[in-house]
Amino acid sequence: MAKITLSNLRHSYYPDPKGPDDYALKMIDLDWNDGGAYALLGPSGCGKSTLLNIISGLLVPSEGRILFDDKDVTELAPTERNIAQVFQFPVIYDTMSVRDNLAFPLRNRGVDETMVARRVAEIAEMLEVTDILDRKAAALSPDNKQKVSMGRGLVRENVNVVMFDEPLTVIDPHLKWKLRSKLKELHQRVRATMIYVTHDQTEALTFADQVVVMQDGEIVQIGTPVELFERPAHTFVGHFIGSPGMNILPCETQGGAAMFRGKQVALEGEIVPGDGTRTEIGVRPEFVTLAESGIEAVVRKISDVGRHIVVETLIGEDRVAAIVKENAPEKGETVHLNFRPDRTRLYRDGWLATTAGEAAQ
């Protein structure tokens, strides 16, 4: 158990990186609190697996340090860090039984056999694999195999952190949900720090207390699922989280007001002064309403997703999605859109540039 600190971390897979583009991780400064459930969310290739491998010690970063509590572990091998990692594809030792698989990390460390038996029984009970302990691991179904690899990660006591690298990729959809809630339950029972890497927002938002969103080797936002949804710090977060993602509309600023196609758009608060060339308005489809008057738009497509209806419209060439409960307009119809002011924000060069208004608090 430990607090994990990443300080000034940079990593490049090239021996001699030239520019920022050569870095898989650009500059990471991050604290993971002891016992937290974290998700590391981002699209494929954003550097999240690299970051994970640096924490586990499979990779040594080009620059920067990793601290477990106050101990510098940057150069330590994975075994010396006392961490656990579960991989995308279940890693099991084919020739061993489930029991021996679970006992393997303990036996390698010379743990006493009575202690091994006790821990294996505990973990097997937690993962509900007690009845298959004597089966050969090679013959298990993918979800049971993944449970066994999770079990190997959890079997050691006092691991500093358990990391999951997209562990549900090969699991059938109906079992994904089960395993995900199992993981959440496990976290509450063992209270170890857990980091869950995924590109699936549902997995991240259901598992984690804190979600770290990454893009192009950088952290764009850290926050609770609600914060990420309500107040994205970057248009990427707005777009990546939510279904459909946030509407992003190019706009201009004039004297402290946002102008979209010549009309002023009310924002949540003051525009933060700063330089930047590209300004955009961001508003989630959940906060776009159809009304009698407002910005004129043409309905392009209607999708009924069950719980609500997604109305895709065009304002000139800009696409805006709105979510309505009922009374959806027809395709091709002209509608008027209203943006809820306390949920409408200005982004400058991608980053949030409005102060939180009173209404938002």
Partner 1 sequence: MKTVNQRAWFLVLPVLFLVAFNALIPMMTVVNYSVQETFGDNLFFWEGLGWYEQILTSDRFHAALGRQFLFTGLILVIEVPLGIIIALSMPRQGFWVPVCLVLMALPMLIPWNVVGAMWNIFTLPDIGLLGYFLNHTLGINYDMTQDPLAAWITIITMDVWHWTSLVVLLAYAGLVSIPDAYYQAAKIDGASNWAVFRFIQLPKMKNVLTIAILLRFMDSFNIYTEPFVLTGGGPGNSTTLLSIDLVKMALGQFDLGPAAAMSLIYFAITLGVSWLFYTLMTKDDLN
Residues in contact with partner 1 by the rule CB under 8 A: 53, 56, 58, 77-79, 83-85, 87-89, 91, 93-96, 104-105, 108-109, 136, 139, 149, 152-153
In angstroms, give the least distance from the CB of 327 to partner 1: 51
Q: Please check whether residue 38 is in contact with residue 213, taking contact to mean a CB–CB distance below 8 angstroms.
A: no
In angstroms, give the least distance from the CB of 145 to partner 1: 12
In angstroms, give the least distance from the CB of 95 to partner 1: 5
CB closer to partner 1 out of 167 and 232: 167
Q: Left (φ > 0), alpha (ψ -120 to 50) or beta: where does 268 sit?
A: alpha
Side-chain-side CA neighbours of residue 216 (13 Å): 5
Joined together, the tokens standing for residue 71 give 């101990």
Q: 267 in helix, strand or coil?
A: coil
CB closer to partner 1 out of 83 and 346: 83
Which one, of 206, 202, 238, lies nearest residue 220 by Cα? Answer: 238
In angstroms, give the least distance from the CB of 81 to partner 1: 9
Q: What whole-number distance in Å separates Cα of residue 347 and Cα of residue 67?
A: 34
Integer CA distances (angstroms), 295 to 238, 244, 261, 299, 314, in order: 22, 20, 9, 13, 11
Q: 282 in helix, strand or coil?
A: strand
In angstroms, give the least distance from the CB of 4 to partner 1: 16
177-180 long-range contacts, Cβ below 8 Å, gap at least 24?
Answer: 178/143, 179/143, 179/146, 179/147, 180/206, 180/207
3-state SS string over 104-171? HHHHHCCCCHHHHHHHHHHHHHHHCCHHHCCCEHHHCCHHHHHHHHHHHHHCCCCCCEEEEECCCCCC
CB closer to partner 1 out of 100 and 230: 100
Q: Please check whether residue 319 is in contact with residue 327, taking contact to mean a CB–CB distance below 8 angstroms.
A: no
In angstroms, give the least distance from the CB of 138 to partner 1: 8
| Strand duo 295-304 + 309-315: pairing | antiparallel
Q: Locate tokens 């029991």: which residue?
A: 99
Q: Please check whether residue 140 is in contact with residue 92, taking contact to mean a CB–CB distance below 8 angstroms.
A: yes
Joined together, the tokens standing for residue 174 give 């109906």
In angstroms, give the least distance from the CB of 58 to partner 1: 5
CB closer to partner 1 out of 89 and 351: 89
In angstroms, give the least distance from the CB of 37 to partner 1: 20
CB closer to partner 1 out of 53 and 338: 53
CB closer to partner 1 out of 96 and 315: 96
In angstroms, give the least distance from the CB of 166 to partner 1: 11
Q: Left (φ > 0), alpha (ψ -120 to 50) or beta: where does 191 sit?
A: left
In angstroms, give the least distance from the CB of 323 to partner 1: 40
CB closer to partner 1 out of 79 and 334: 79
